[in-house]
Structure 1
Amino acid sequence: MAAPATASAAPGDTALSAYSDQRLDWQPGDEGGPAECADIEVPLDYSRPDGKKIRIAVSRIKASEPSERQGVLLMNPGGPGGSGLTLPAMVMKENVIPDSVSRRFDLIGFDPRGVGRSAPVNCSLTGQELSLSGPAYQPETFENDVSRAPAAGPPGKPAAAYGAIDNFYSAYWSVTCADSDSWPRDPEQYRREAALDKQNNPLFASSASNTNACAFWPKATEPTTVVDNTAGALIVNNEWDSQTPLVGAIRTPGLHGAWRLG
Structure 2
Amino acid sequence: MAPLLAVGVTATLVPALAPSPASAAAPLKAFENQRPAWHRCDASLPAAFQCGTIKVPLDYSHPEGKTIKLAISRMKTSVPGKRRGALLFNPGGPGGEGLEMPAWIKDGLPKQVREQYDLIGFDPRGVGRSSPVTCGLTSAAEENIEHSYKPETFGSTVKWARTVADKCRARSGDVLPYITTRNTARDMDVIRAVLGEKKISYVGYSYGTYLGAVYSQMFPGRTDRFVLDSAVDPARVWRGMIQVWAEGSEPAFTRWTRWTAQRHRTYKLGDTAAKVRKTFWKLVERADRDPIEFDGQKVSGDDIRAGLRPVFFSPEAAAEAVVDVKRAAEGRTVARPSVLSGGAREPRRFAAPAAGAPVDNGTAAFWTVVCGDTAAWPRDPEQYRRDAIRNKGKYPLYGDFGSNIVPCAYWGKPAEPATKVNNRVGLLMVQNQWDSQTPLTSGLGMHRALKGSRLVYVKGGEGHGVYTTDPRSCADRNINSYLSTGRLPAGDVTCKPGQSAGLNQGIAPVPPQEPGAPRF
TM-score bracket for the superposition, by shorter chain length? 0.7 to 0.9
Deviation of 1:175 after TM superposition, in Å, equals: 0.8
Residue 443 of structure 2 is aligned with which of 239, 246, 251? Answer: 246
Q: Indicate if the aligned counterparts of 2:425 and 2:451 stay in contact, CA closer than 8 A.
A: no
SS in 2 for 1:148: helix
Structure 2 vs 1, CA of residues 206 and 11 (structure 1 numbering), >3 Å: closer, same or farther? farther
From 389, 398, 404, the counterpart of 1:195:
389
Aligned partner (choices 434, 442, 451) of residue 256 of structure 1: 451
Conservation of the 8 A alpha-carbon contact between 2:378 and 2:409: yes
Give the match's secondary structure for 1:84. Answer: coil
- Gap change, CA 1:48 and 1:248, over 3 Å in 2: farther
Q: Does structure 1 residue 112 correspond to structure 2 residue 159?
A: no
For CA contacts below 8 A with separation 6 or more, give which structure has more relative contact order.
2
Moved more, 140-149 or 179-188: 140-149
1:56–1:111: 8 Å Cα contact kept in structure 2? Answer: yes
User: 2:377 maps to which residue?
Assistant: 183
Q: How does 1:1-262 map to 2 (within 5 A)?
A: 10-14=21-25, 15-30=27-42, 31-33=44-46, 34-92=48-106, 95-127=107-139, 128-131=141-144, 133-151=145-163, 164-225=358-419, 234=428, 240=435, 242=437, 245-246=442-443, 249-250=446-447, 255-258=450-453, 260-261=455-456
- Which amino acid in structure 1 is aligned with residue 391 of structure 2? D
CA distance in 1, matches of 2:427, 2:85: 11
The separation in 1 between residues aligned to 2:372 and 2:402, in whole angstroms, is 16
- 1:183 & 1:202 partners in 2: Cα distance? 23
Name the aligned partner's letter for residue 180 of structure 1: T
Unaligned 5+ runs, structure 2: 1-19, 172-352, 457-465, 467-520
1:110 Cα deviation (Å)?
0.7
Kindly state the Cα deviation for residue 260 of structure 1 after the two structures are TM-superposed. 3.5
The residue type paired with residue 367 of structure 2 is W
Structure 1 unmatched runs, 5+: 1-8
**Greater CA drift, 169-178 or 205-214:** 205-214
Structure 1 residue 213: deviation in Å?
1.5
In 2: Cα distance, 1:63 partner to 1:197 partner: 50
CA contact (8 A) 1:77 1:84 kept: yes
Deviation at 1:69, TM superposition (A): 1.7
User: Match of 1:106, SS?
Assistant: strand
Q: CA deviation at 1:236?
A: 5.2
The answer for the alignment partner of 1:6 in structure 2 is: none
- The residue type equivalent to 1:67 in the other structure is G
Other structure's SS at 1:165 match: coil
Aligned-partner Cα distance in 2 for 1:243–1:215: 23
In terms of fraction of residues, the more helix-rich structure is: 2
The sequence identity of aligned pairs, in percent, is 44
- The structure with the larger Rg is 2
Which moves more between the two structures, 195-204 or 11-20? 195-204
Conserved 8 A contact 1:234-1:259: yes
Once residues 35 and 177 of structure 1 are traced to their aligned partners in structure 2, the CA distance between those partners, rounded to angstroms, is 34
Residue 171 of structure 1 aligns to which amino acid in structure 2?
Answer: A
| Gap change, CA 1:106 and 1:241, over 3 Å in 2 | farther
Shift of 1:75: 0.9
Stretch of structure 1 that moved more, 114-123 or 218-227? 218-227
Give secondary structure in 2 for the equivalent of 1:208. helix
TM score, norm. by length of structure 1? 0.78
Aligned residue pairs total 244
1:52-96 Cα deviation digits (max 9, x unpaired) = 11110011111232222222221113211111111111113xx32
Question: Structure 1 195/120 Cα, relative in aligned 2: closer, same or farther at 3 Å?
Answer: same
Per the alignment, do residues 54 and 231 of structure 1 end up closer, same or farther by CA in structure 2, a change over 3 Å counting? farther
From the superposition, tell whether residues 238 and 175 of structure 1 become closer, same or farther in structure 2 (CA, over 3 Å).
farther
Q: Over aligned residues, Cα RMSD in angstroms? A: 3.3
Distance 1:196 1:53, change over 3 A: same
